[in-house]
Amino acid sequence: MRLLITGGLGFIGSNLVRHLLSTHPTYEIINLDAETYAGHRENLTDVEKNPKYKLVVGRIEDSELVNEIVSGKKFGPIDGIIHLAAESHVDRSINDPSIFVTTNVVGTQVLLQAAFQHGKKEGAKMPFKQEDYTIKFVQVSTDEVYGTLGPTGLFTEETPLTPNSPYSASKASSDLLGRAYFETFSMPVVITRCSNNYGPYQHPEKLIPLFITNLLKGEQVPVYGDGLNVRDWLHVTDHASAIDLAFHKGVPGQVYNIGGNNERTNMQITKLIVKELGKGEESIKYVADRLGHDKRYAIDASKIEKELGWKPKYTFETGIHETIDWYKSNPEWVKAVTAGDHAHSKELVSASKAGK
């Protein structure tokens, strides 16, 4: 089995690559990653010498490169594509939405078209059937495409897509492209939508690692608005196992929600981390709320649990303590992956002011 993983140097991607190489040691993993500010080779130093692992530096919008890989010319025939590469930070999408459309929408279409073009068996003719394809495609998405919830209720796979940020709108668009390739061409596409991930190797722009690293440096942690926004938290290791199942057992054309059954307000998360690191309430700084800030996300993951037999192994209590310990034990990793952040942020601001 030879799999193309896009965005494998990122947070979820690197954990997935590590999971696949460990769980399926005979598989060959090709990692296509653009090495942006959120994708670092430091995330996979423990597997970079594995003969079953290959890194290709490039962008998913590069159709020439993508076609070279998916056609089999570069490494041999591809059996599957698990697509994670994406611009994913909501605040950055508010600053410059165009980057998100280019990567998340155009890039996804390039990958889907390559899988369609090169994944058909010789002699297959329209109208195509699922059995005409040799490449299975998993589109890894987010619960943010569903919009926001009130105090009660859960997102199901039937919840309408009502994204509220440029980021979530770009992800919804890529999901719909995947659906269209399944409906139009019968291409074996599976879509997964996860709740908020946490765990090792997450870039310190995200809430949990940002708060941990700020407090370790003696800095305050910025809480949006009243801090009562609710998220369901999923350990990245559990997410990786769910994606693995979705690829191997997921039914083409289906959507599978992946959640951790761990709803917490941002303030609960904040106070837990502050207490765990021995700090006081003075470490909390309230800041103006994010534009279009969704109030609550909560996932109903019963479909993947019943149909594919998946269940999260981590409790939030176990996972958050392990995560805090990991960031405390890896200051050099934090330093390495944040080294270029200031310059990157300045670049984004300049581009936004220039109307790019």
- From CA 231, how far away is CA 20, in angstroms rounded? 27
Alpha helices (H) in 4-158, listed in sequence order? 11-23, 63-70, 90-95, 97-100, 107-119
> Which residue among 28, 33, 61, 144 is the active-site one?
144
Tell me if residue 32 falls in helix, strand or coil: strand
| DSSP states along 164-189 | -SHHHHHHHHHHHHHHHHHHHH---E
Among 34, 169, 25, 317, which residue's Cα sits nearest to residue 13?
Answer: 34
DSSP state of 251: P
Please say if 133 is a catalytic residue: no
Which distant-in-sequence residues (6+ apart) come within 8 Å of 62 by Cβ? 110
Write down the catalytic residue from 37, 53, 167, 327. Answer: 167
Phi, psi for 222 (deg, rounded to 5): -85, 120
Check if the beta carbon of residue 138 is closer than 8 Å to that of residue 81: yes
Lookup: tokens for 62? 């590069």
Out of 28, 61, 143, 232, the active site residue is 143
Main-chain phi, psi angles of 78, to 5 degrees: -95, 135
Positive/negative CA dihedral, 159, 160, 163, 169: positive
Q: How many CB atoms lie within 10 A of CB 181?
A: 22
Is 144 catalytic? The answer is yes
* DSSP 8-state secondary structure symbol assigned to residue 127: S
Active site residue 143: yes
Amino acid letter, residue 174: S
User: What is the crossing angle of helices 11-23 and 236-249, to 10°?
Assistant: 60
**Contact assessment for residue 168 and residue 89, using Cβ atoms and an 8 Å cutoff:** no
Contact (Cβ atoms closer than 8 angstroms) between residue 135 and residue 81 = yes
The residues near 145 (Cβ < 8 Å, ≥ 6 apart) are 161, 163, 168, 171, 172, 175, 193
Catalytic residues: 143-144, 167
